């Protein structure tokens, strides 16, 4: 099968809904990405669409999602995930996002170790079948 045939077949399967996406997954640590940070942002009412749009379009952000805050305990309502080779690099990206959005109330949660890694959507499969 040629490269063009493989691409055409994948496009057909995508358009038919047989597969939802086709992606590459790398081992980020082997690629030199050693710092992973989730940033919890406190976005004021009425600003979520604007701020989330800026974050989602930023090359620095790999994930961005809204969550319901716990008033008085955890008032953050927008989360973004950033990765970098060094902490300073990630901190610069966070500063850039803060300036771009005008949001200066945030908490940075940096991974200290990797606990578990399973392929997305396949964690329930085993040699014996579906669990």
pLDDT in tens, the chain (131 residues): 999 999 999 899 989 999 987 778 778 788 888 899 999 999 998 999 999 999 999 999 999 999 999 999 999 999 999 999 999 999 999 999 999 999 999 999 998 877 666 655 544 444 444 44
Domains of the chain, residue spans: 35-110
Q: How many helices (H) and strands (E) does the chain have?
A: 3, 6
Dist CA 87 CA 109 (whole Å):
12
C-alpha to C-alpha distances, 70 to 51, 73, 74, nearest whole angstrom: 20, 6, 5
pLDDT score of 125? 43
Q: State which fold the 35-110 domain adopts.
A: Alpha-Beta Plaits (3.30.70)
Q: What H or E segment, with its residue span, contains residue 109?
A: strand 106-110
Phi first, then psi, for residue 92 (nearest 5°) are: -65, -40
Helix (H, G, I), strand (E, B) or coil at 2: coil
User: The whole model's pTM is what?
Assistant: 0.70
């Amino acid at each position: 099968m040629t490269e063009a045939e493989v691409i055409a077949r994948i496009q057909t399967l995508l358009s038919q809904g047989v597969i939802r996406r086709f992606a590459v997954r790398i081992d980020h640590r082997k690629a030199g990405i050693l710092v992973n940070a989730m940033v919890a942002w406190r976005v004021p009412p009425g600003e979520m669409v604007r701020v989330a749009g800026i974050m989602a379009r930023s090359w620095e952000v790999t994930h961005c999602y809204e969550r319901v805050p716990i008033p008085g305990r955890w008032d953050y309502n927008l989360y973004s995930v950033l990765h970098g080779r060094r902490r300073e690099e990630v901190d610069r990206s966070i500063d850039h996002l803060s300036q771009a959005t005008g949001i200066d109330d945030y908490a940075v949660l940096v991974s200290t170790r990797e606990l578990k890694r399973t392929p997305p959507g396949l964690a329930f499969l085993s040699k014996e079948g579906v669990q």
